[in-house]
Amino acid sequence: MNQLPNLFVGPLGQAQKRAVKFSSNMAKAGIAMGILDKLEELNSILENPKTTNLEKSLTEKLIDEMVDCLVELTGDRYDQKGKRTVPPIPN
């Protein structure tokens, strides 16, 4: 089987590898912050007394979906008691 050579050789290669991982994690953090901002907006819809039952139901479903996205992004899984059930996805 033909494999590509390891392009990250030596200290400069390792620094480049760490920089790629750092930028990837920074992008994930930015996405997570965006999701959290949207969750705050959705919570304000739920707190509004003028919100109809249909709007509340749809907002709750959106919140559930966005929380699932956030959990997938972070890679951690927890049960109802806060105990980790599945190890995080390796980066």
- What is the tens place of the pLDDT at every residue in 12-46? 888 888 898 899 889 999 999 999 999 999 999 99
61 inside domain: yes
User: 24 lies in a domain?
Assistant: no
- Give the separation between CA 59 and CA 5, rounded to whole angstroms: 50
Q: What residue numbers bound the domain in which 74 lies?
A: 33-91
For residue 91, what pLDDT is reported? Answer: 53
- Burial degree of 28 (CB within 10 A; 0-12, 13-18, 19+): middle
Cα 10 from Cα 22, distance rounded (Å):
18
**pTM metric for this prediction:** 0.67
Tell me if 76 is assigned to some domain: yes
Q: How far is Cα 69 from Cα 60, in angstroms, rounded to an integer? A: 14
Residue 28 lies in a domain: no
* 82 vs 43, residue with greater confidence: 43
H-only helix segments in 1-91: 10-47, 53-74
